[in-house]
Amino acid sequence: MLLPGLGLVSALPAQEGPLTVSQAVKVSLEKHPDIGKQVAQADILKGQVREVRAQALPELTITSSVMRWRDPSLLNASGLDQFPPELISVLVPVPVNLVDYGIGLKQPLYTAGKVGTALKLASIESEGAFIDIDRAQHDLSLEVVKAFYRLLLAGRYRQLIDEIHEQRKQQAELARTRYQHGVATEVEVLRFDVAVANSAVEVVEAQNNIRQARAQLNYYLVRSIDEPTEIEGDFTQIPWDEWNLAELEKEAIRRRPDLHRLRVAERSAQTRVDLAKAESKMRLDFNGSVGITSRYASNLANPEYGRWNVGVNFSLPVFDGFRRSGLVWQATAAQRATSLEREKAEQQVRLQLQQGLDAIRAANETITAARASVNQGERVFTMTQNNYKYGAASVLDLLDAQLALLVARTNLLRGQHADTIARATLRWTLGRTPWE
């Protein structure tokens, strides 16, 4: 089973080169151990369903035995001493062979619904296992999306830092030229050299952030953590136009795999209660066998030596030391706990949705403010840079303007990243694919 929408991703052809977010999710879903583990668990439960179903089907066995024995019990009989000696001498036992083979059949006739209830329980658990696969895919998809855009953020931030670093090196070179012509002081040159050194440290930190983000994405892609995985994509601000909290809540409760799993667990708990109640009810079983027993192998095909038996076993527990009531008590408590867990999870949905909507609003406001700040910062930096060339601005004015522009661009980049992650998380909360 696949999460709704993942089938399209699985249909995408494998491509070399940079990965898009949908391709990254596809690779992860195909290879990550969490998915394989849930698939294996589903296979285990398939086997359990078959095992439980066997309780309702006939059990047929073939038996065979070869035995050599000597039985002196007649010589130990009471009153044997009163027999004539010549008779006693004839009664001395001798070893004999006994060969037996046959077919046995067992078939439950009536189990008060115990076998049927157990089969229903196994089927419900099997259904839950497939939902667990969907849930694992759903959760893993969100983690891959987050890792993908974390790497994208780290790469874009590295570009900003590289640009600032190059600008400062050019500014330091300009300051040296001005110093050589006597229109700048040595202090200005030293300040630009310090700024270049500081930005070099920031470049190293930015590169380390890229390395860590790529390692995390490689983990989800089941690749070597140092593999040079490349991605392609952008932070695209897509307007969110679904603000009706009540409608979103209904959709989330209907679609979320984890909530669906809790509802299945609730059904399973009710079935366990029924199974516990069936423990002390009447049971009927049919038993029968047919075969041949003979002292000589030559008679093993002779029907005169045939044996057979049929019977019906009846059992009705009368007193079991309150074992059944203990099982029912446990199962009932487990059912109540499962219901409360499902109610709690459904109540949390509204909170998660509200938090998601708030995160999108905050990210949009941050982007709007940051864009205005970037526009102003670029104008101020350009004007300050031109003023510095003609001696109308100090080195501190230029570095301050440059830093302000860097902060504005960083805020814009982080706002775009926050908006993308907020939308992905909200789509995950609604039970949709986390990417768009």
Torsional sign, CA 49, 50, 51, 52: positive
Residues in the chain where the model's pLDDT stays below 50? 1-15
Q: What is the token pair recorded at 190?
A: 């030293």
For the purposes of burial, counting CB atoms within 10 Å of the CB of 20, is it exposed (0-12), middle (13-18) or buried (19 or more)?
middle
Alpha-carbon distance of 153 to 206, in angstroms, equals 10
Alpha-carbon distance of 29 to 434, in angstroms, equals 13
Enclosing H/E stretch for 308: strand 306-315
CATH number for the region 16-70+96-429 comes to 1.20.1600.10
Amino acid letter for position 307: R
Note the pLDDT of residue 13.
Answer: 42
Alpha-carbon distance of 329 to 327, in angstroms, equals 5
Alpha-carbon distance of 146 to 217, in angstroms, equals 9
Which tens digit of pLDDT belongs to each residue from 139-181?
999 999 999 999 999 999 999 999 999 988 888 888 888 888 8
Alpha-carbon distance of 235 to 413, in angstroms, equals 8
Residues 6+ apart with CB under 8 A from 282: 110, 112, 314, 315, 316
Nearest CA among 139, 141, 136 for reference residue 39: 136
Domain boundaries, the chain: 16-70+96-429
Backbone angles phi, psi at 61, to 5 degrees: -130, 145
Helix (H/G/I), strand (E/B), else coil: 294? strand
CA separation (Å) from 144 to 27, 416, 436? 10, 18, 13
Long-range contacts of 333-338 (CB under 8 A, 24+ apart): 334/269, 334/272, 335/266, 335/269, 335/270, 335/272, 335/273, 338/262, 338/265, 338/266, 338/268, 338/269
The model carries a pTM of 0.79
Note the pLDDT of residue 15.
Answer: 45
Note the pLDDT of residue 16.
Answer: 63
- Are the CB atoms for 413 and 156 separated by under 8 Å? yes
- Are the CB atoms for 333 and 272 separated by under 8 Å? no
Backbone angles phi, psi at 331, to 5 degrees: -65, -40
Alpha-carbon distance of 137 to 257, in angstroms, equals 10
Note the pLDDT of residue 216.
Answer: 95
> For tokens 């892609």, what's the residue?
221
Note the pLDDT of residue 2.
Answer: 46
